[in-house]
Each structure stands twice: as structure tokens, then as C-alpha cells.
Amino acid sequence: MSLSPTIDTAEAPKATYKRVMLKISGEALMGDQGFGLHPPTVQRIAQEVKSVHDLGVEICMVIGGGNIFRGLSGSAQGMERTTADYMGMLATVMNALGMQSALEEVGVFTRVISAIRMDEVCEPYIRRRAVRHLEKKRVCIFAAGTGNPYFTTDTAATLRANEMACEAIFMGKNGVDGIYDKDPKEHADAVRYDTVSYDDILTKRLRVMDASAIALARDNNLPLIVFGLDEPGGFRGILAGEGTYTKVQG
């Protein structure tokens, strides 16, 4: 099987960004299941990523591990926090490998790069090597968070996005198409923001990313775009200047 993607440059719209970070939760991969990976959902997301890759955009990804194990939840149930967080990091590696398999099935060269060494299944994180993969149009999935306990995958995504010189972070959400003043699933009168500042997210305690990730993005002037991951073509549409989303910036 050839892994070379076919790009129709004559019809493809021009993307607004050249290199982006896509952050999705582990729960986004489990579909209607209550646990684990749902292959059709993983394949659908892989097709979304491919559609953006076909525009010539260089893509980084960070995937959470909450569909398998969440460190904070384990800690809340009495497990030692550091151990629970490392278990959560390993869950992100499993999700990254699943996404890599789905992407390569649709012809997109992909590298899983782990902050914790496990050379038999993925590469260790070396910044210059990762940048070179992106330059060669390979999708880079960064796994195992930052490699340290007490840090979320939100912080890992923001850190890697800065290190890779990404132009924006795209955060795909399930069931919502942006940032609201309150939970739209519980409040019919919830209002969606078209744009919002990082400081407003912190002061209004809007549940988007954890505070350390928001501060890191703000201090480095890195835009955050929150959109609906379950909207077909949403990721590609936003990169082409269309669709519904919330943009967070300084």
C-alpha cells in the first residue's frame, strides 16, 4: 500500500495557517461507548486530519487519555498522584498509536513521539527531529504529556505548540462549537463567544483549558481556536476561513 497522500492543489482552498496543533480529548475517541477506542470514530477523525493535511498544512497532535485512564480521577480515588499521572500518560500513548494506525490507513505518514522513552513503539521527543518530521509533511502525535506528573495534556499541547512554532492551537470539542458563557448542554440561554481574551477565560473561569496552559499560550501570543470536532469538515472549514468557532487571543 502506498502511503503518499493525493493532494489536488487546483481545487484545494488556501489554508490560513501553515503549521497547527490539534488538541483532542481521549473521550473524543470513544464515540458512544463508555470506555476505550471506537474504531469508526477514530477513522472519522483521521479523515478530518487528512483533509487538512491535503491542504499542505503541517499538523501536530496531542490526544488525552481520559477514555482509558485519567490520572486526576485515580488520585481522587486514593491512588498516589504521581503514579496515577504516569498511568494517564501511558493511556495517551495507546491513543496516539491508535490514531497513527488510522492515519496511515488513509495514506498520511505519521510519527508518534513520546515524552517517556519506549523505543520499541515510538520515538523519544527530540525537538529538532520533530520539526524535521513536520517539514517532511509527516503528522507528529506527541504522547505521554510533558513526561512529568501534575501537568495535563492541555499544558503539553501548549508547550509542544510553542516548541514546534505552531501558528495556532485547534481544540476540538464534542457537542459544542466554541466557548460559551455557561454550559450549553445544561443552559438553553448559553451564549457563544466569537472571540474572547485569555485573561477573560481566567477571570471568568471558563472551562476551556487549565490555567497553566492558558497562561502559557497567552504569554507567547499563541491563538487558540475552539470548534466542534463532531461537525463533519469543521477542522478543514475553519482553516479555509469558514465555519463556527471561538477564537481566543491576547
Residue 14: burial class (beta carbons within 10 Å; 0-12, 13-18, 19+): exposed
Binding site for UMP: what residues are annotated? 65, 85, 146-153
Binding-site residue ranges: 23-26, 65-66, 70, 85, 146-153, 174, 180, 183
Torsion angle, alpha carbons of 228, 233, 238, 241, to 10: -150
For residue 62, what is the enclosing H or E element?
Answer: strand 58-63
Helices (H), ranges, the chain: 39-53, 71-76, 81-105, 127-135, 153-163, 198-204, 211-219, 234-239
Q: How many CB atoms lie within 10 A of CB 183?
A: 10
Residue ranges at the known binding site for ATP: 23-26, 66, 70, 174, 180, 183
CB 76 within 8 A of CB 67: no
* 3-state secondary structure string across 123-182: EECCHHHHHHHHHCCCEEEEECCCCCCCCCHHHHHHHHHHHCCCCEEEEEECCCCCEECC
- State how far the Cα of 60 lies from the Cα of 134, in Å rounded to an integer: 8
C-alpha radius of gyration, the chain, whole number? 17
Residue found under cell 487571543: 249
